């Protein structure tokens, strides 16, 4: 199965009539005044394309979130591929970041790495300085 795209955004919207997806605030950088800081909710979206032989099979998607210097947080999903195209979403909340650095969100299909998205976690300058 081929990964068409993998995007991490603050939020997404799916049009009920057309099934088109819109991404709001693709996350490339998060600024925080102080640490530790809980991250706002975000959504990881992976879009898959399958060939006929891959249809009607069950698959496991794993989203791994690794904050800078902290242990990873794991989110697992199972799905059945019933059409040639399938979208998987994971809305993630409650991740706490202790320091600046790079946070990686990785997507695996049946245990195999397929893509990753990196977000820079930076200290926001104090506007009073």
How much is the pLDDT for 100? 95
pTM: 0.88
* pLDDT on residue 39: 86
At 128 the pLDDT is 61
Residue 48 lies in a domain: yes
The beta strands (E) that lie in the chain are given as 2-14, 21-26, 29-32, 37-38, 42-49, 58-66, 73-80, 85-92, 96-97, 101-109, 112-123
**CA angle at residue 43 from 38 to 44, to 5 degrees?**
115
In a domain, 24, yes or no: yes
Decide if 129 is inside a domain.
Answer: no
Question: Domain range holding 102?
Answer: 2-123
- Residue 129 pLDDT: 52
98: domain CATH number is 2.60.40.2560
Residues of the chain with pLDDT under 50: none
Assigned token pair, 123: 């200290």
Number of domains in the chain: 1
128 occurs within a structural domain: no
């Amino acid at each position: 199965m081929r990964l068409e795209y993998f995007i991490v955004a603050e939020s997404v919207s799916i049009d009920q009539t057309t099934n088109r997806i819109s991404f709001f605030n693709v996350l490339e950088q998060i600024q925080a005044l102080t640490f530790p800081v809980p991250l706002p909710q975000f959504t990881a979206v992976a879009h898959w394309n399958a060939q006929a032989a891959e249809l009607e099979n069950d698959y496991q998607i794993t989203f791994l979130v690794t904050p800078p210097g902290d242990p990873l947080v794991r989110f697992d999903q199972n799905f059945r591929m019933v059409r040639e195209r399938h979208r998987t979403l994971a809305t993630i909340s409650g991740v706490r970041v202790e320091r600046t650095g790079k946070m990686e969100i990785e997507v695996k299909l049946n245990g195999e790495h397929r893509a990753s998205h990196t977000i820079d976690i930076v200290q926001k300058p104090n506007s009073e300085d």
